[in-house]
């Protein structure tokens, strides 16, 4: 038998057990723990057999990565191999590869193998697709590599650019020697981070854990170092390592100053203008009150005579005729009064300066207030609106379409060529306030110009024939877009993107005239007679109201007076809400049946009427304020027509300010969170046609504040769209990145600092957190409805008291009711806002959106004063009083032309500050599932430009100027006297505004074409010198990265 093999089985030996697979057993144990069971079958399908879902398997992957002896698993691996055995087989450690050709490759491979918990890795394997790593794993890899003395530093950005070990080793050249700039920047950053030193090749966000607030403080400190180049937050995002910054900002060779053209003489310095005295400030406010009271009395007299004329009628037809006459006369009066006031008090506007709080300013304010409040502003998008601008002196061509309700004030300085389209919420700034004066200047638009939504054109700007300016963009003073060119960004710069989204159609002058005629026929024939007739009927024919009108003992001294007012307010308020909700849900859906997506329609037809009606009816601010910042906004928007399925409820999917053109063509992806202020564009317009298109926002996005999202938007899933970003409409679809600025550039999607808050939205306790948030938000909704009902009850009381006093006071009762309405509205909403925080105000915070502190802040936002009566105080000393009432620390002589603020009590404003129209001070930011807020300070003598946003934690130095349509990012420190602008804001290459000193005696704003003797005015050539530029030949101010960079040819005004 010797030498022959032995059959152990036939000999009766026991067969050996299958070989133990530690990877298989380890995976099975982790999955059983996640599922909460004793064990799992390694051949069972994790979804079909074990009942897991993607959330469960994501937790499985996370726990596996914490096991040192197991290969990492990604969710992609799970879908590819949906059994434990399949995963173990696919991810089994690969055999050791041949030795690497160089020590860097072998060193990197060894570190990665250690991080992954395997024996070795193939240097040519893709770290994500082949090795199953994710960004967190590779971040640990980068950190460990930096600790190896003989290996080059690796950042997460390097990993994404070169996702194999061999690719990394090839791409990463030895680090260059240090230099003084690099050492200085590294020392400042280490001081800001509170560490001993930093690696100059470390990625400041991914490797060092900084965020934009930390880096804003870094930029501010660098600017205070004499030997270092200035650094902006945009530079940091473009070069996110100390070495990269030092290389990019290295001192440039000395440049030779360009000679001044022979035919243009250098501009002489202009005389400064003195600020108004406190006596002028008080006198202006007194005159503004007197003008308001006089206007209220005039309108009261008109209404008194009108209603008495209606009450004197008899019979239905006679009453209709009288109501039509009175309504039409009242409408014509309110429309023509601003036009007459402009021509009588101003004449023709011309480029000049008007000292704020002077007599000339009083005339400017009165005309501006009347022009902006004219009912014809409501006809934006109609030929009637163009007629209104012409009546005010603007040169408006044929076929112009203006959708923006921001009326240019100095209309004689406005020229709009034939066929131009101006989208909604834009500003054509024929004036602006800066450094104690109102400056007026020209805005000139050629033929067939297109201006996108929320764009701003500063004074002394122009666009040639066929030019385009994209959404959320701006032209700074002196910029000129050549004919046919497309620009976007803030400040504007050339682009190849085409913002026109619809072909022209046949739409002649008779079609426009017919549309305008039908609008007026509806207005004078139905709307006004019905409104005035019903009001007159209610007052005279309802018995209780009739007894009030007849006189006798004053009824408001009796309890029945208040009982009737209480019942009336309950019926009108809650009944009105239900009826309005029914109309919003039903009527637009019926109108939408006749509108086909992506079909070109002519303007001013039935489809245009229906489209505009859909937009008006479905953009009801009241319902957005009720349901926003809560889980209930998802149900409301879904019922309205938004395509939100499948929904991942976060409790804060949308804020309180959401706009769209058509809810039925709006799609929001799964897991996306949208902050307040988004405008979803579904409509494309030309001067003759329009079309509607579906706008899709990808899944797992976060959108910041004040964003315009067009249907051509080129962003996909998992994007961060930062506040005021210009959404790109060309190029590749951006996914998995962050976008910031106008034009947009890429930033990290998220920062590690916020990871703990992101995990709170996906862990086991999330359902309990969400339920608690929903309960708190529901209570906030109840308080909001209660506060608005109390306000409506007070309005009913004021109206009843007016009727009760009418017999004895006549027109005086109407005027008195108007004054009482204004005073009560201001005081009431200030009280509600302060009461929402227990009269303690808000405080800076950094917390999860599932923290009760955040829920209280949401309640504060919901109950903030948003009354339109505040607009009446724009440009008056009483706006300061209003801000103080709600907690703002305001200095002397604030000039506020229509700014907004969020957390008022952590805002500090110095003396003689100027806030232009549309400016907003926002002391907070929601970033995914994290909420951050901090105090902001605006120094004395500073100016915040039109439509500019100032973020939280910002300090603006005394006398600084922030240009229009800018975004001053969180944590920025603007030096005193500096001039900044752009998105994100940076220092501009232009001479700062000089400090004002005592001027030579001048007088105020003139009338007609010539200034009166002794006026406080200057020509446009004089005040443009304050910018350090002559608009015809010199470079416009543009954001700079340091003091060495100069404007390029594309920024030169009139260079083409």
The whole-number pLDDT of residue 62 equals: 74
The structural architecture, per CATH, of the domain 22-90 is Orthogonal Bundle (1.10)
In the prediction, which pLDDT does 11 show? 33
What is the rounded end-to-end Cα distance, in angstroms, of the chain? 104
Rounded Cα distance between 783 and 599, Å, is 44
Which of 109, 160, 162 shows the shortest CA–CA distance to 134? 160
- pLDDT of amino acid 120: 87
pLDDT tens figures, 76-99? 778 788 898 988 888 776 554 444
What stretch of H or E contains 171?
helix 165-171
DSSP calls for 460-486: SEEE-TT-EE-TT-EE-TT-EEPTT-E
**Looking at residue 527, what DSSP letter applies?**
I
Residues 6 or more apart from 513 whose CB is under 8 A from it? 383
Three-state DSSP class for residue 761: coil
The answer to whether 48 and 57 are in contact (CB under 8 A) is: no
Counting as low any pLDDT under 50, the low residues of the chain are 1-17, 96-100, 135-136, 175, 254-271, 991-1056
- Decide which of 3.10.129.10, 3.40.630.10, 1.10.10.60, 2.160.10.10 is the CATH code for 766-987: 2.160.10.10
* Burial (Cβ within 10 Å: 0-12, 13-18, ≥19) of residue 533: buried
CB contact at 8 A, 597 and 693: yes
Mean of per-residue pLDDT scores for the chain: 83
Question: What superfamily would CATH give domain 353-500+1001-1056?
Answer: Hexapeptide repeat proteins (2.160.10.10)
Which tokens belong to 869? Answer: 């009566």
- Hey, where are the domains in the chain? 22-90, 178-250, 353-500+1001-1056, 553-749, 766-987
Q: Number of helices (H) and strands (E) in the chain: give both, helices first.
A: 29, 48
Give the separation between CA 17 and CA 13, rounded to whole angstroms.
12
β-strand pairing of 961-962 with 943-944: parallel
SS3 call for 817: helix
Q: What pLDDT does residue 708 have?
A: 95
The alpha-carbon radius of gyration of the chain (Å, integer) is 33
CATH 2.60.120.620 holds for 178-250:
no
Judged on CB neighbours under 10 Å (0-12, 13-18, 19+), 194 is exposed
Which tens digit of pLDDT belongs to each residue from 527-566? 999 998 888 888 777 766 767 666 666 666 778 888 888 9
Q: What is the structure's pLDDT at 797? A: 92
**8 Å CB contact between 418 and 512:** no
Domains 353-500+1001-1056 and 766-987 share a fold: yes
Give residue 272's pLDDT.
58
Half-sphere exposure of 962 (CA within 13 A, CB side): 37
Output the pLDDT for position 345. 95
565: alpha, beta or left? (left if phi > 0; alpha if psi -120 to 50): alpha
Task: Choose the CATH number for 553-749 among 3.40.50, 1.10.760, 2.160.10, 2.60.40.
Answer: 2.160.10
How far, in Å, are 921, 939, 958, 973, 1014 from residue 909 at the CA level?
11, 6, 10, 15, 33
């Amino acid at each position: 038998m010797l030498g022959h093999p032995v059959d152990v089985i036939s000999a009766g030996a026991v067969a050996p057990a299958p070989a133990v697979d530690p990877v298989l057993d380890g995976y099975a144990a982790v999955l059983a723990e996640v599922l909460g069971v004793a064990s799992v079958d390694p051949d069972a399908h994790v979804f079909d057999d074990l009942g897991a879902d993607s959330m469960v398997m994501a937790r499985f992957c996370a726990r596996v990565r914490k096991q040192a002896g197991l290969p990492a698993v990604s969710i992609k691996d799970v879908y590819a191999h949906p059994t434990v055995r399949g995963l173990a087989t696919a991810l089994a450690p690969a055999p050791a590869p041949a030795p690497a050709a160089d020590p860097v490759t072998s060193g990197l491979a060894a570190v990665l193998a250690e991080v992954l918990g395997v024996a070795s890795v193939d240097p040519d394997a893709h770290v994500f697709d082949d090795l199953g790593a994710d960004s967190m794993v590779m971040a640990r890899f980068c950190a460990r590599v930096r600790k190896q003395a003989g290996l080059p530093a690796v950042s997460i950005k390097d990993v994404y650019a070169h996702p194999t070990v061999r690719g990394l080793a090839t791409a990463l050249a030895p680090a260059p020697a240090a230099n003084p700039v690099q050492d200085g920047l590294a020392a400042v950053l280490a001081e800001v981070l509170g560490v001993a030193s930093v690696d100059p090749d470390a990625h400041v966000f991914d490797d060092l854990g900084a965020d934009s607030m930390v880096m804003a403080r870094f930029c501010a400190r660098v600017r205070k170092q004499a030997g270092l180049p200035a650094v902006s937050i945009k530079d940091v995002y473009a070069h996110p390592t100390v070495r990269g910054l030092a290389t990019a900002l290295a001192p440039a060779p000395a440049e030779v100053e360009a000679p001044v053209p022979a035919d243009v003489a250098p501009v002489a310095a202009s005389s400064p203008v003195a600020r108004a005295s406190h006596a002028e400030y008080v006198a202006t406010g007194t005159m503004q009150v007197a003008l308001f009271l006089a206007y209220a009395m005039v309108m009261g007299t008109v209404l008194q005579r009108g209603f008495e004329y209606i009450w004197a009628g008899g019979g239905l037809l006679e009453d209709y005729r009288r109501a039509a006459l009175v309504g039409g006369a009242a409408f014509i009066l309110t429309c023509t009064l601003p036009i007459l006031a402009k021509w009588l008090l101003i004449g023709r506007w011309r480029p000049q300066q008007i000292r704020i709080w002077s007599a000339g300013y009083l005339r400017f304010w009165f005309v501006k207030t009347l022009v902006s409040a004219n009912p014809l502003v409501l006809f934006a998008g109609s030929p009637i609106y163009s007629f209104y601008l012409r009546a005010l002196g603007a040169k408006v061509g044929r076929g112009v379409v203006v959708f923006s309700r921001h009326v240019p004030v100095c209309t004689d300085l406005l020229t709009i060529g034939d066929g131009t389209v101006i989208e909604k919420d834009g500003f054509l700034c024929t004036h602006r306030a800066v450094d104690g004066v109102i400056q007026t200047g020209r805005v000139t638009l050629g033929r067939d110009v297109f201006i996108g939504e929320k764009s701003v054109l500063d004074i002394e700007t122009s666009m040639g024939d066929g030019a385009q300016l994209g959404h959320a963009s701006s032209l700074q003073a002196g910029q000129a877009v050549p004919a046919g060119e497309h620009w976007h960004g803030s400040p504007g710069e050339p682009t190849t993107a085409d913002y026109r989204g619809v072909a022209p159609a046949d739409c002649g002058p008779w079609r426009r005239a017919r549309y305008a005629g039908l609008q007026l026929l509806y207005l004078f024939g139905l709307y006004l007679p019905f409104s005035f007739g019903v009001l007159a009927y209610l007052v005279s024919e309802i018995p209780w109201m009739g007894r009030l009108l007849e006189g006798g003992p004053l009824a408001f001294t009796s309890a029945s007076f208040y009982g009737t007012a209480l019942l009336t307010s309950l019926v009108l308020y809650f009944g009105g809400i239900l009826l309005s909700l029914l109309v919003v849900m039903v009527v637009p859906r019926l109108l939408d049946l006749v509108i086909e997506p992506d079909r070109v329609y002519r303007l001013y037809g039935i489809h245009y009427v229906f489209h505009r009606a859909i937009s008006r009816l479905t953009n009801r601010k009241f319902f957005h304020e009720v349901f926003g910042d809560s889980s209930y906004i998802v149900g409301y928007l879904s019922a309205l027509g938004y395509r939100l399925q499948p929904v991942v409820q976060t409790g804060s999917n949308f804020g309180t300010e959401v706009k769209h053109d058509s809810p039925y063509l709006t799609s929001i992806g799964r897991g996306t969170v949208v902050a307040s202020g988004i405008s979803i564009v579904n409509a494309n317009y030309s001067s003759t046609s329009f079309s509607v298109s579906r706008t899709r926002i990808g899944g797992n996005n976060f959108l910041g504040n004040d964003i315009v999202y067009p249907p051509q938007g080129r962003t996909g899933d998992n994007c961060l769209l930062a506040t005021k970003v210009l959404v790109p409409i060309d190029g590749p679809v951006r996914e998995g990145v962050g976008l910031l600025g106008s034009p947009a550039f890429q930033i990290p999607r998220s920062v590690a600092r916020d990871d703990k808050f992101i995990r709170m939205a996906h862990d086991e306790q999330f359902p309990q957190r969400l339920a608690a948030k929903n309960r708190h938000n529901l209570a906030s909704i109840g308080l909001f409805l209660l506060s608005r009902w109390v306000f409506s009850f007070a309005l009913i009381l004021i109206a009843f008291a007016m009727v009760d006093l009418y017999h004895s006071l006549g027109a005086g009762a109407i005027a008195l009711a108007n004054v009482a309405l204004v005073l009560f509205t201001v005081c009431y909403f200030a009280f509600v806002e302060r009461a929402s925080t227990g009269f303690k105000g808000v405080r800076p915070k950094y917390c999860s959106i599932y923290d009760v502190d955040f829920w209280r802040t949401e309640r504060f936002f919901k109950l903030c004063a948003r009354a339109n009566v505040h607009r009446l105080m724009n440009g008056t000393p009483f706006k300061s009083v209003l801000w103080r009432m709600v907690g703002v620390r305001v200095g002397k002589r604030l000039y506020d032309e229509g700014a907004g603020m969020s957390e008022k009590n952590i805002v500090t404003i110095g003396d003689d500050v100027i806030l232009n129209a549309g400016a907003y001070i926002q002391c907070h930011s929601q970033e995914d599932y994290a909420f951050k807020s901090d105090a902001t300070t605006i120094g004395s003598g500073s100016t915040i430009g039109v439509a500019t946003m100032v973020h939280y934690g910002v300090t603006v130095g005394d006398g600084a100027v922030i240009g229009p349509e800018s975004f001053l990012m969180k944590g920025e420190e603007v030096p005193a006297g500096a001039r900044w602008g752009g998105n994100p804001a940076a220092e501009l290459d232009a001479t700062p505004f000089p400090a004002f000193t005592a001027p030579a005696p001048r007088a105020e704003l003139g009338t007609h074409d010539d200034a009166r003797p002794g006026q406080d005015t200057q020509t446009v050539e004089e005040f443009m010198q304050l910018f350090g530029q002559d608009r015809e030949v010199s470079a416009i101010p543009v954001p700079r990265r340091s003091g060495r960079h100069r404007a390029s040819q594309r920024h030169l005004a009139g260079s083409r």
